[in-house]
Chain A
Amino acid sequence: MSSPNEQVRIQGRSNLPSVVDPISALDQAISRAPAAVAAVDSLDGLATLESSLLGKESPVGEVRRRMATLDPLDKPRVGSRLNEAAEIINQLLTARRAELEDEDEGRRLLEESIDVTLESVTFPTGSLHLIQQTIDEAVDIFVGLGYRVASGPEAELAWYNFDALNTPRTHPSRLESDTMYLDWGDPEDEVLLRTHTSPVQARWMERHEPPVYIVVPGRTYRTDTVDATHLPVFHQIEGLAVDTDIKFSDLKGTLLHFAREFFGPQSKVRMRPHFFPFTEPSAELDVSCFACDGGEPGCRVCGGSGWVELLGCGMVDPNVLEAVGYDPAQLTGFAFGVGVERLAMVRHGIDTVKHFIDNDVRFLEQF
């Protein structure tokens, strides 16, 4: 079998009479060109075809050579047809060349395929600690509500940690079995590792005029040895709102908003009476289980109750406001404190708090 290119060439030659009318020769060349061009399937073939269509030996070339010998009266007509023929054929060739170049590149690109299922180059990807991520996310929810973010010392005066928060001198939480004390300062002004982020409440209110809307993320300490559910150092986010018209329903609404943002829009909350020295009324807040549709027996998150105990909260005790020089007759407020590890464990199904301090990269990089 001969290639289509060759056929074209043979056709071109065999159909060229020794003396023909140049116009009909050009017409013939124009009419034959599209099929010939379309039949070419390589850039090399196209180059060959170009010379057989437009080269010296081609019908068009013939006519061009014979131009000088033509009757001057025929010259303009033949010349114009000649230019026309050359242009038409050139356009056909150019268009086909572009097509063939595309095809050619397409083939080349396929030849240099890579295995896209393989991650062969890895940019460094670190991770924020899950505790930090949880803090940042929770804090942003409150920032969205218009809260500010406050912080305070971890080595703290007993006065801010307990007294300012209406905790009696004889409260068991002050015992060394619960609280770590530091070898610092005088015995009347004991310094300890804060047992909650609540002392920042008092510090903030001392330095700022109401209204107060703050959240306080941070580290807290208890005399607990490490086991699956206890760490001597853990993290809390404290929230405090004090204003002229804060009501119990605002506490509920604020925490409902938080629960829906953090656990999903279907979340519900319920409050149960509880006791904290620094709030009254005090409550524990449960959030509806996000893992089951409420009370699935043996649910890993809620254990079948449909509710997950989440945080402690309440209306700020008037004694707390008084201790920092706020007028409880003018101001009311609410406060809440949520364990960061608890938030993360509930949401991610983490089985032991030890993961939070092991710093095992295999754990950290999951989040």
Chain B
Amino acid sequence: MLVPLLWLQEFIDLPTTDVGELSYALDMLGLTVESVETIRPEWSDVLVGKVLEIAPHPDADKIRICQVDTGSGPTQIICGAWNFEAGAMVPVAAPGAILSGELEIGRRDIRGVESNGMICSERELGLGDDHAGILVLDGDPEIGTPLGDHVELPDLVFDLDITPNRPDAMSIVGVARDLAAHFGIEHHVPEIQMSTVGGSTEIVVRVDDPVGCRRFTAREIRGVTVGPSPFNIRHRLHKIGIRSISNVVDVTNYVMFELGHPLHAFDADSIAGARLVVKRASEGETLLTLDDEERALTPEDLIIYDDEGPTSMSGTMGGARSEVSETTRRVLMEAASWDPPTIMYMSRRHDLRSEASTRFERGVDPNLADIANQRASAMVAALTGGEILDGAVDVIGTPTVPAVVDLRSSDVERLLGPGFTVDSVSAILTRLGMQVEGSEPMVVTVPTYRPDVTRPADLIEEVARIHGFDNFEATLPSGPSGGLTPEQQRQRILQSALTGAGLHQAVNLPFVGVEDLAHLRSELAESQLLTVKNPLRDEESKLRPTMLPGLLDAIRYNLSHGAGSVGLFEIGKVFFSVPDEDDPRLPAQPDRVAWAVVGDVGTETLGGAFIKADGAVSLALWFRLARSLGLRDIEIRSSSAPGFHPGRTAEVLLAGVPVGHVGELSPRTGRAFEIAGRVAVAELDLAPLLRQVSPVEAKTPSVFPFIEFDLSFLVDPSQNVSELLAAMRGAGGELIETERVFDEFVSPDLGEKKAVAIRYRLRANDRTLTNEDAGPIRTAMIEAAQKTGAVLRGA
């Protein structure tokens, strides 16, 4: 909200006008200063002049010759405006004056007649938008005085961000009230001098929706002459960005900013049937609003009707049909108080956020309605020459009574710390316009303009706010004792293991389209996917059931930006449309860790890296991860999964439970994501990886010598080497210290068999092994291998 300092000062005698000090005060009140604009006159040497006489120009009929007195006798000035006559007081820029900060006025010859300066319009002076005519000054300013003496400049305009709980601060008077509490001084409210004439308005108001309309006041002003507003009103509105329309409409805006209560002026003669009815709209009805938009109404819209149908939208925008115009003679001034949610939904439904709706959404005090109405009616009468009828309309839908809250100083101290007494607390609350009676508890009556204050906690907040947040100490609580859980610590280990292998962590949006999933040849039915009802983009309305699309997109992004090799991993949730195990009210949303790697991996030398990402590399990453996490009881099975290479993918089991897949991307999926070459990919459930493992039982390394021997077998190419190793490990028992496969190949020379060579190292903990020890073990291992179908080579 924009607040000009000079307007503000009408209601408060501020102890400072320093921008910094005022900004600080406003910030500390929670009226956050977004920015401050300094407005200075854009002119110099412009004086008040009186138009003495006006004569036609001999050679031009669009301009006139004026004799103007600026204190040193008549001066001749040519002027093209026609909105004034002799006797008008006008701003005169004499030769040498500066306009718009740069334009120097000189003596000129206009069609053979000398012109000694210029009579200025509002726009030429930067005081408004009006340039249809020159600025005619109101009242009786002294001839020859500087224009600046009669204009509220220079001024500061504060742009305040008012939080939604503070409807009371959405006005100049409200800001003055808060500042008064801050500085501990008085503030004033506008004095209303309303004189009325006898008689009642014939317009009848009926409120059919007392929840939607809390109060409806209306007052008739008759005999008005609609015209421009006085300059000081136009100028104040100009400073806060409101365009001047007419004296009647300007007053409704002016009073809204001054007091915080929106108003609407009807052309009373345009109210069909002299009757207004407040009720919800019916489907199919339309209303042409002031902005010339034909709006289709819904049954939730709260509308003001006359006998011809909808004529105004409550609290949001008036209708064109009953708009005040130049010909309006009777004005019905409405100040009504509307239900905040009704206005909030309606203004959003119609994409119609106005100064009025933003106030009603917060909750405008119904008890302010008639005060605002009187203020506005009085101003309209004064400006338009109209008369206010005595008998006004005041329909109360729902009465609004002040909240009464009990508060103990101990409650305040419990939250805010020591030092708050009945005296200090009630002093603060009184400054905010609350009535405080009694002590322990203090019985606090809250003014109805503070609908946010209904409980002790709300009062304590006010005490803290006015006490000043800066005046609190900084302390630390003494209680806590915590730390990371084992799972959280293990996630750090997991992160280090993957970054240590050269992978970069990615963060992707979890939205996917059905098409992305089709690329992965997902077997998930669409019904198993979780759908966002109001997605950002319709083509990405699903929540990811797999991490791979995001990672593959990121791989493609990096490749297309020139990267030759990329390794990414991501930790995050996937979502399914089935009940969650922890909370069945929710959809399942397990955490996953996934990676995707293309190109060179591992240690790089000047000659280039020597390993290319593929399924084997993916498995290597998995083993590195498993070792870092100390995972035991791991099982690896040949497997396939959607999007994975059918011959280069493993299923990983921990303690017999599948946790995901590790391997290579299927080339078809790679092509769909525009990635050429092999991609090492994996996707694993995170929770089982992070589950705490039992502490390792230490083994003392043997100090005795070892015996090494190599065994070489031919096996069926379809046979997994792990099976062979397991069989031999079973036979070799405890004495096997290490086993290392050092060769594995398939060759036609071997009759399409797979050759596997393994080096074993045997060692005992308690003695030196002899060939007599090792011989039978070796034999047993070979026999065990042969039982799996392996044939010992070179035997």
Contacts and interface: CB of A to CB of B under 8 A. Distances in A.
Q: Are A and B a genuine interacting pair, yes or no?
A: yes
Interface string A205-239: 00000010110000100011100000111000000
A154 B530 contact: no
Determine the interface band of chain A, counting residues with CB < 8 A from chain B.
35 or more
Interface in A262-294: 269-275, 280-284
A249 B415 contact: no
A130 to B, nearest CB: 9
A124 B457 CA distance: 56
Contacts, number: 255
A30 interface: no
Interface string B561-589: 10100111101110101001011011101
B482 A143 contact: yes
A126 interface: yes
Interface stretch (B207-215, B224-232, B466-474): B466-474
B704 interface: no
Contact of A248 (B165, B458, B472, B510): B472
Contacts of B483: 143, 146, 148
Contacts of A177: 348
Interface in A329-352: 332
A275 B166 contact: yes
A334 to B, nearest CB: 9
A68 interface: no
A315 B414 CA distance: 11
User: Which of B465, B474, B563 has the most chain A CB atoms inside 10 A of its CB?
Assistant: B474
A247 B412 CA distance: 10
A326 interface: no
Contact of A183 (B340, B417, B531, B573): B531
A282 B27 CA distance: 13
A273 B465 contact: yes
A248 B419 CA distance: 13
B492 interface: yes
B30 A272 contact: yes
B457 A280 contact: yes
Given A177-B348, A232-B509, A357-B507, A122 B604 contact: yes
Nearest to B551: A359
A191 B500 CA distance: 38
Contacts of B500: 124, 126
B507 A213 contact: no
Task: Please report whether the interface of chain A is mostly helix, strand, loop or mixed according to DSSP.
Answer: mixed
Interface stretch (A16-24, A50-58, A168-176): A168-176
Interface string B475-511: 1110111111100100010010011111111111111
Nearest to B605: A121
A181 B531 CA distance: 9
Nearest to B469: A271
B499 A127 contact: yes
A69 interface: no
B583 A153 contact: yes
A197 to B, nearest CB: 14
B30 A275 contact: yes
B669 to A, nearest CB: 19
A253 B478 CA distance: 12
A361 interface: yes
Contacts of B481: 146
A365 interface: yes
A249 B475 contact: yes
A328 to B, nearest CB: 8
Contact of B476 (A122, A127, A191, A253): A253
Given A155-B530, A273-B28, A149 B461 contact: no
A32 interface: no
A126 B480 contact: no
Interface stretch (B46-54, B144-152, B288-296, B533-541): B533-541
A361 B348 contact: no
A183 B532 CA distance: 6
Interface of A: 120-129, 131-132, 136, 143, 145-149, 153-157, 170, 172, 175-177, 180-185, 189, 191, 193, 211, 213-214, 219, 223-225, 231-233, 241, 243, 245-250, 252-254, 256-257, 269-275, 280-284, 315, 317-318, 332, 356-362, 364-365
18 contacts: A121-B606, A122-B603, A124-B502, A146-B483, A153-B583, A180-B533, A182-B532, A183-B530, A184-B587, A213-B480, A232-B536, A247-B417, A252-B474, A253-B473, A281-B461, A358-B557, A359-B554, A360-B558
What 9 A-B pairs are tightest by C-beta distance, nearest first? A124-B502, A273-B30, A146-B480, A170-B341, A275-B163, A126-B499, A213-B480, A253-B474, A359-B554
Given A126-B567, A358-B557, A361-B504, 14 more contacts: A121-B605, A122-B605, A181-B532, A181-B534, A183-B532, A213-B477, A241-B480, A252-B469, A253-B473, A273-B30, A282-B461, A360-B557, A360-B561, A364-B505
